[in-house]
Structure 1
Amino acid sequence: MEPDNYYRQARFLTSAAKFSQCPPDEGYEVAFAGRSNAGKSSAINVICDHRGLAKTSKTPGRTQLLNFFELDEERRLVDLPGYGYAKVSVSIKKDWQGNLATYLEKRRCLKGLILMMDVRHPLKDFDAQMLEWAAHIELPVHVLLTKADKLKKGPATASFHKVKSALKERRGDFTVQLFSSLKRLGVAEAHQRLNAWLHRA
């Protein structure tokens, strides 16, 4: 099956409000993380060519659960809670940050993390925190610089090189690419990274 068609078969599996509710820890998983306004849900939908797979919202920060999408019996994509703009109580925010930390640290089948950053505002505090976390647990990260259509080619390329240089200065297995859900830019490159992590030929 061609990679493009393969990701189209993604289907919602389950949501977990806490780590104990996650599916069995087996097979291969790749998780998607990012600030609440980084276009995470839109990117997942475009990568899977499935408009309604990950729920998008005009109110950033609505994803407070770990949402699992099944590709086949062994492989899953996971939409992690967004961070940054959610208008929720401090206690709720602490709960879901705790779930996020537990998932990243204890999920043995997790093979990689796709980290979304708005190409116009990359490497914010949360992004840096996620990169440090990933390096600590030796989890590879592929950065999608989303909303690349919002910039002209020159500034977008400049942002890409700036982030690439910054990642090289950090310890960790980090890669980066430009991405646009609106223009479907970078989808094939994202598929290649996912295929490698999900152990697909």
Structure 2
Amino acid sequence: MQLPFPLAEEPDDETREAARKLFVGDVDFLKGVVAMDGLPPDDRAEVCFAGRSNVGKSSLINALTGRKGLARASNTPGRTQEINYFKLGSERFLVDLPGYGFANAPVAVVAKWQALLKSYLAGRVSLRRAFVLVDFRHGIKPVDDEIMTLLDRSAVTFQVVLTKADKVKAAEQDAILAQVRERLSKHPAAYPEIVVTSSEKGEGIASLRATIAGLA
């Protein structure tokens, strides 16, 4: 019997190579947005990455594109305070959202970008899928549940991407996966597949590339 929310499989060689070419091709930073009226036209498909502060969003974008400096990674939670847009070829946007949860910034600043995050998730018609990044070491926390509930209410399909897999002992993985699956079962907008990644080791990068490439 197959478990609910199975792990994503590795793509076949043809799919892997097509997705790789997309991500190592024309990928460039477009703009940072601090208000909804600054968003680019919604004339192409886009996917976004959401997650707790310091979950590894920037590192994952850099791993996907093979460019270490494309997205600015930081050990300081809350550095990403804008919606950062990246062009992925001529037909897609990649979007790096502000980290939610704890952030090393003034309360008023945090409140402003959390409001921007929620407005974006609820109102962007060209958004094909939200990828909710969850630190594999910790599983889904209440603040993740809040964002997932917002996505449920906004009818935005989201898929969980577990990050930092290289930092989780093999003996601990099954228990964490069980917790993640149990939490996801309560969210109707959850896509029924989990991607396990390690930006440092390259694990799951080909699967995530292929998934995004298929969301034209």
Residue segments in structure 1 that go unaligned for 5+ positions in a row: none
Out of 141, 146, 155, the residue aligned to residue 163 of structure 2 is 146
Deviations 1:78-112 (A, max 9, x none): 00001233222221111111111111111111111
Tell me what 1:195 maps to. Answer: 213
Residues 145 and 160, structure 1, Cα contact 8 Å, conserved in 2: no
1:161–1:193 CA distance, 2 compared to 1 (3 A): farther
Per-residue deviation, residues 57-85 of structure 1 (Å, max 9, x unmatched): 12111000000000123210000001233
Pairing 1:78–2:95 present: yes
Tell me the CA shift for residue 170 of structure 1: 2.6
Instruction: For residue 2 of structure 1, give the secondary structure of its aligned residue in structure 2.
Output: helix
Give the TM-score normalised by structure 2.
Answer: 0.86
1:132 is matched with 149
Tell me the equivalent position of 1:22: 39
Q: How does 1:45-194 map to 2 (within 5 A)?
A: 45-174=62-191, 175-194=193-212
What's the offset of the Cα at 1:37?
Answer: 1.8
Contact 1:160–1:178 (CA under 8 A) maintained in structure 2 = no
Superimposed CA distance per residue, residues 158-197 of structure 1 (whole angstroms, 9 cap, x where no aligned partner): 3224312331233223332211111111111111221232
Q: Which moved more, 1:64-73 or 1:83-92?
A: 83-92
The offset of 1:140, in angstroms, is 1.1
The separation in 2 between residues aligned to 1:190 and 1:7, in whole angstroms, is 11
The number of equivalent residue pairs is 198
Task: Write the distance in 2 (CA, Å) between the matches of 1:2 and 1:193.
Answer: 11
Aligned-partner SS, 1:144: strand
Cα 1:118/1:169, change in 2 over 3 Å:
same
2:18 is aligned with what amino acid? E
**Partner residue of 1:7 out of 14, 23, 48:** 23
Query: One-letter code of the match for 2:126?
Result: C
**Structure with higher RCO (Cα < 8 A, 6+ apart):** 2
Residues 93-136 of structure 1 show CA distances to partners (whole Å, capped at 9, x for unaligned) of: 11111111111111111111111111111211221011101111
Give TM-score, length-normalised by structure 1. Answer: 0.92
Residue ranges of structure 2 left out of the alignment (5+ in a row): 1-16
Alignment-mate amino acid for residue 2 of structure 1: A
Amino acid at match of 2:78: G
SS of the aligned residue for 1:57 comes to coil
What is the identity, as a one-letter code, of the residue corresponding to 1:3?
A: A
Compared with structure 1, are the counterparts of its residues 169 and 101 closer, same or farther at alpha carbon in structure 2 (3 Å cutoff)? closer
Q: What is the Cα-based RMSD across aligned positions, in Å?
A: 1.5
